[in-house]
Structure 1
Amino acid sequence: MSAAPGASDRRFALPPDADERTLLDAFLDFQRDALVRKCDGLSDEQLRARPVPSSALSLLGLVRHLATVERWYFQGVSTDAPWPGDLFDLTDDVDAPFHDVADATGPETFALWREQVAASRRIAGTRSLDAIGRTPGSGAERSLRWVLTHMIDEYARHLGQADILREAIDGRTGE
């Protein structure tokens, strides 16, 4: 007999009076972990596959994009340090993280993503939710609270795409 839905989900183990920061961190980490679960057990070829005829998306492309988004919002917006630059700036294609996957591998892509997530956690861990950062270029102000909430949204949207891609590859989706 399998566990009840959500039984292993850490978000549901949080006490009802958990503070806002704990909730935001737990929900974002759940989304990050879901990305790994959706790609688990696939070969590099499967991770690079674009199995939906009407889309150029691949699972590796999504992971590369989310590494880029982690870097942008935490190392670019949420810190006072100089912008370290884009991860994938070899072409003029703004969607290069999605498109340039022909030579990408799962291990190298996930290592890069994990580096970005670790940097994001370090940066977020040193700031209050009310800390204001500025978007490189435009100077638009964003609180860390806004960034964490947006990152939950960013992962959730792309994890829906990952479900469709995974299902087209081998019939699995999962939580």
Structure 2
Amino acid sequence: MTWTAPEIARTPQLLVGDERAVLHSLLTRGREILLWKCQGLTGELLAIRSVEPSTMSLLGLIRHMTEVERGWFRLRAAGEQLDYVYSSDTNPDGDFHDTDPEQAEADYARFVEEITLADKAIANLPLDHTILHPRSGADLSLRWIYLHMIEEYGRHAGHADLLRERIDGSVGYQ
């Protein structure tokens, strides 16, 4: 039996609330949009790449955002000691380059799990919690990380729109 990405029931966006709740609502929206763009597709379809020389695919985006969630929320904000799943110093773009349609179900599940783990890791951290940026050494707040992640999902939602249209002509926003 061929695995197919499940349908996504999207959470209504929170339009009024405290800052943390609204930020989390917008982050959840970005996460769900990426999953929504994947729904109904098999591993083979998720692995279809855009246009050479790009190695971007919906499956690559799922893997990439697994790394991004893990990196910003768990590694940096929460200070957990763990490695990236798909990328390394010797293979920094493994999230995009090494997609395997046969592993799509596992990659998808890992992404969903990483979201849960990321949310749990930062649940008790205040928005003013600070860390050092890994490259610049500048102070960053958890608030900034939330905003950066919302931006990251927004950028990749556009990529996902184009990739999905290339795969099956599906366009639009629900």
TM bracket, shorter-chain basis: 0.7 to 0.9
Aligned length: 164
Cα RMSD (Å) of the superposition?
2.1
Seen in structure 2, the aligned counterparts of structure 1 residues 105 and 49 have a Cα distance that, compared at 3 Å, is: same
TM-score (norm 2): 0.85
User: In 2, distance between residues paired with 1:79 and 1:135?
Assistant: 13
State the alpha-carbon separation in 2 of the partners of residues 103 and 169 from structure 1. 14
**Partner of 1:65 in structure 2?**
64
- Distance in 1 of aligned mates of 2:103 and 2:170: 21
Higher relative contact order (CA 8 A, sep 6+): 1
User: Which residue of structure 1 lines up, in the alignment, with residue 15 of structure 2?
Assistant: 14
90-99 or 26-35: which moved more? Answer: 90-99
Which sections of structure 2, spanning at least 5 residues, go unmatched?
A: 1-9
Tell me, what secondary structure is at the counterpart of 1:122? helix
String of CA shifts for 1:127-161, please: whole Å, max 9, x gaps. Answer: 11101123457654321100000000001101100
Aligned twin of 2:5: none
Please report how far the alpha carbon of residue 90 of structure 1 lies from its aligned counterpart in structure 2 after TM superposition. Answer: 6.2
State the 1:85 CA deviation: 1.0
Following superposition, the deviation at residue 50 of structure 1 comes to 1.1
Q: Aligned with 1:174: secondary structure? A: coil
Instruction: Indicate how the Cα distance of structure 1 residues 54 and 164 shifts in structure 2: closer, same or farther if over 3 A, else same.
Output: farther
Aligned to 1:171: 169
Is 2:36 the partner of 1:37? yes
Q: Normalised by the size of structure 1, how large is the TM-score?
A: 0.84
Comparing 26-35 and 124-133, the one that deviates more: 124-133
Correspondence for 1:159: 157
| Deviation at residue 104 of structure 1 after TM alignment | 4.8
Amino-acid identity (%): 37
**In the alignment, does 2:86 pair up with 1:88?**
yes
Output the CA distance in 2 between the equivalents of 1:91 and 1:104: 25
Give the whole-Å Cα distance in 1 for the aligned partners of 2:102 and 2:144.
32
CA pair 156-54 structure 1, distance change in 2 beyond 3 A = same
